[in-house]
Structure 1
């Protein structure tokens, strides 16, 4: 699988999982996702499961630490960090950082709740990255 395809697949899975969590909980505590180099074998890490009382910053740190430990593995071709981003005076958003070994992107999907369901707006590219880089070696 090419880099662009791998990045797109990882972004799609991270977005869909983030939206699912948002619909269930009303926000998205930080979590991580990895795919192998072929774009298969998705694995998730939800630190809230082990640390239910932790703050969002602590959960983000735990997610980053977990992904950093696994980045040297040949089984990791792409990774994503997903979390709610709060904005003072503006809409909240779903922040998704996706990295492959050749590229990295950080997008923010504004979200809103209608009477029936949560919805995501068009992604906005962010300057820089949320964390890291963790996997993308050209930026290190």
Structure 2
């Protein structure tokens, strides 16, 4: 059996990034773990420092259960360098190269409206972008 993975993003504003990544990936807020009825109840089960807040974290999941879970956690230190691991968002890869590039450009524009930024375009192949806190990701076509 292959192992499943979760991804975790460190950040300064968990709620801001959660909204962006829900839009980018089509993810939803993950329900709290059993037997808890709310995330707040689950967090209260830990011995967290008093200055920790429910807003310091967000837990997202693919509503279809296919993609990895995404945890977004507030940390005190700022981002200082390029990500060593990044997310690739894949648009459908069918059609001509021009049609694929048009879908990549459309998806990139949608993500700019959601708060992302274009860093660099590799014409016809992929677009390097950043989320609202500067975490790099790419938009490219899926393998046909």
TM-score, scaled to structure 2: 0.25
- The higher radius of gyration belongs to 2
Bigger fraction of residues in helix: 1
Q: Which has the higher contact order (CA 8 A, sep 6+)?
A: 2
